[in-house]
Amino acid sequence: MNFFHEIRKHILAAIQALVADGDLPEGTDASRVTAEPPRDESHGDISTNAAMVLAKPAGKNPRELAEKLVAKLQNIGLIAEVSVAGPGFVNIRMVDEFWDQQLLTILEAGADYGKSNLGLGEKINLEYVSANPTGPIHAGHGRVAVVADVLANLLEKVGYAVTREYYINDAGGQAKKLACSSYLRYREALGEDIGEIPEGYYPGPYLKDVGQAIADRDGDKWLSLDEEEWLDPFREFAVNAMMSAIREDLKLMGITHEVFTSEMDLQRSGAVDRAVADLEEQGLLYTGVLEPPKGKVVEDWEPRPQLLFKATEFGDDVDRPLKKSDGTWTYFTGDIAYHYDKFQRGFKQMINVWGADHGGYVKRIVSAVNAITRGDGRLDVILSQMVNFFDNGVAVKMSKRAGTFVTVRDVIEKVGKDVFRFMMVSRKSDAHLDFDFKKVMEQTKDNPVFYVNYAHARSHSVMRMAKQEFPDIDPTQLSDAPLKRLRDEDEIRLLKLLAGWPRQVEIAAQAHEPHRLCYYLYEVAGQFHMLWNKGKDEAILRFILPDDRELTRARLAMIKGVQAVIASGLTIFGVEPVEEMH
């Protein structure tokens, strides 16, 4: 569906023809030859760097080579014009009918437009959120979650078999704290005065419910027992409670994971031991003493022999410890086992999306994945920067202690899932994002969420109006409309824009950068709104022309195209394309 691929095939064929003619050497490598839109639309529709890339190895002048290429491309159907420009660009312009054909393709595909099989069905594991199961999801995690979820949709769109996965960190110190905090609340539920929640415990009131629930179920049976007796059951109960709350939060965001993997289960199943044994077998473990960290004072630091993984052999800065001083595994060790587990489940490609504050951990886990998969597995980590929340320009201060931190639920209840999701992917993920509660709710063209969805709604509105004017027009049967009458320069421009959608989807998917699609959709919406406005000045450009049924049908076809592309895009975002604004 990406017509640039089609044109590139023609270019490659032309290059082969030049090889046959002796103008290029046998075995010419055309892999760097591109077919992409020129920066300036006045240059044409497609531009190729072929002559410039091939000139040097062939010992030719780029412009001369370009001229020869032009001769080969000139008579191919639907190409209107081929010319040489600048240092040796070959610019191609398509005939207008070409865009009509693209529109027909769009109409046929509907909201599936942009779908492709680029991924060849390859399995990709996308791990995201993976927040500690110790409380509701913070709004900061919300961005990570949405960026990853949209990326998952995007990769599916281009033909990957994506598994959305959540790693439950239920084995470490935080989970233990959660269990202890819950035990405290349990005692409280049984009437004990527990006073202030001690430092280091989770003070959140949501744990009261957990304590109460255990008291209701078990009465005072845990009260007289030692910690080692109640710790595991309390942890399990609390983690389950937190996870179901987290699932609710995720659901609010429109996110559903297919697989949840528990760190505890991995340990109990022996997966961690097996991973360590594997690294040992490869000779990648040793016991040693690390240098103290520089530039940061660690009060209780002491030289201590530790079990270390040779991360430096795989590009990390220092070797990394696998065991804590109390003899339990570090988080890292469990994580290695987890990624090994994913690999063994058939995922050669893994993507993790984390908050930017975990950036320091990336090299470590990537090097471990390289080691334990013998280079056959690839882990890509995407970092997502913080979100700064504002309310009408005033920064919203967040403090966990003061209880003023913003949860995902808070935000969704205020602005809705769709606005939240759209805004969260509207910027490059490694850039900070400002989120203003007031601005994102505004119904003006300054608000991109509104602007894009309004274009979709407006397109439906036009269809409704058309139905009144021409009750006999079937909006699903427009493929025989006289598209060649769509010849205003802005109509052509819109058609070209729409035809570029599959390429945008591919680029965004390959770069793992869904935010690009926001900008593109904004452009489509803008071009559509512009045409609408143009109809105010030039009556002939109005979409519905009571005395010209066929031109109306052509215009409706174009509008269906706009609908398809915007719906296709918003669906990737997990945003519902609305048919009416309220």
Partner RNA sequence: GCGCCCGUAGCUCAGUAGGAUAGAGCGCAAGAUUCCUAAUCUUGAGGUCACAGGUUCGAAUCCUGUCGGGCGCACCA
Stretch that binds RNA, among 10-18, 209-217, 360-368, 372-380 (CB under 7 A): 360-368
CB of residue 197 to RNA, shortest distance in Å: 18
- Based on C-alpha coordinates, what's the Rg of the chain? 29
Residue 511 binding RNA, by CB under 7 A: yes
User: Binding segment for RNA among 238-246, 278-286, 298-306, 336-344 (CB under 7 A)?
Assistant: 298-306
At its nearest, how many Å lie between RNA and the CB of residue 53? 5
Beta strands in 407-524 (DSSP E): 433-436
Q: What tokens were used for 518? A: 């926001």
Residue 239 or 564: the one with the smaller Cβ distance to RNA is 239
Residue (141 or 417) nearer to RNA, CB: 141
80 belongs to the binding site for RNA (CB under 7 A) = no
Q: Which of residues 407-446 bind RNA (CB under 7 A)?
A: 427-428, 430-434, 443-446
- How many CA atoms are closer than 13 Å to the CA of 25, on its beta-carbon side? 10
Tell me which of 208, 247, 274, 516 binds RNA, using CB under 7 A.
516
When binding is defined by CB under 7 A, the residue of 98, 309, 532, 573 that contacts RNA is 532
Tell whether the torsion through CA atoms of 542, 543, 544 and 548 is positive or negative.
positive
Task: Check binding of 530 to RNA (CB under 7 A).
Answer: yes
Give the pair of three-digit tokens for residue 289: 């003493």
State the number of binding residues for RNA (CB under 7 A): 101
Q: Which helix (H) or strand (E) holds 491?
A: helix 489-499
Contact by Cβ (8 Å): 120, 158: no
Q: Whole-number minimum distance, CB 387 to RNA, in Å?
A: 10
When asked if residue 394 is in the footprint of RNA (CB under 7 A), the reply is no
Q: Dihedral of CA 148/458/471/468: which sign?
A: positive
Whichever of 206 and 522 has its CB closer to RNA, that residue is: 522
Nearer to RNA, 147 or 189 (CB): 147
State the nearest-atom distance from the C-beta of 112 to RNA, in Å.
21
Q: Name the residue type at position 516.
A: R
Task: Show Cβ contacts of residue 496 under 8 Å, excluding neighbours closer than 6 positions.
Answer: 41, 45, 99
Site for RNA in 17-76 (CB under 7 A): 34, 36-40, 43-44, 47, 49, 52-53, 56, 62
CA 222, distance to chain mean position in Å, is: 45
Separation of alpha carbons 284 and 528, rounded Å = 59
Site for RNA contains 535 (CB under 7 A): yes
538 binds RNA (CB under 7 A): no
Mark 255-294 with x for binding to RNA (rule: CB under 7 A) and - for no binding: -----------------------------------x--xx
Residue 111 beta carbon to RNA: minimum distance, rounded to whole angstroms: 19
Distance CA(440)–CA(436), nearest Å, equals 6
Interacting span for RNA (CB under 7 A) from 143-151, 193-201, 211-219, 540-548: 540-548
The pair of three-digit structure tokens given for residue 124, joined into one six-digit string: 């990709």
Judged by CB under 7 A, the chain residues 213 through 232 that form the site for RNA are: none
Site for RNA in 132-191 (CB under 7 A): 132, 169, 172-174
Please say which residue, 215 or 521, places its beta carbon nearer to RNA. Answer: 521
Cβ-contact 50, 69 below 8 angstroms: yes
Q: Which is nearer to RNA, 54 or 189 (CB)?
A: 54
* Token code pair at residue 410: 């808070």
- Please, which residues bridge with residue 382 across strands? 353
**Residue 363 within binding range of RNA, rule CB under 7 A:** yes
Q: How far apart (Å, rounded) are the C-alpha atoms in residues 455 and 520? A: 13
**Strands ordered across the beta sheet of 285-288:** 285-288, 306-309, 320-321
Task: Say which residues have a Cβ less than 8 Å from residue 136's Cβ, sequence separation at least 6.
Answer: 204, 206, 245, 246, 249, 407, 408, 409
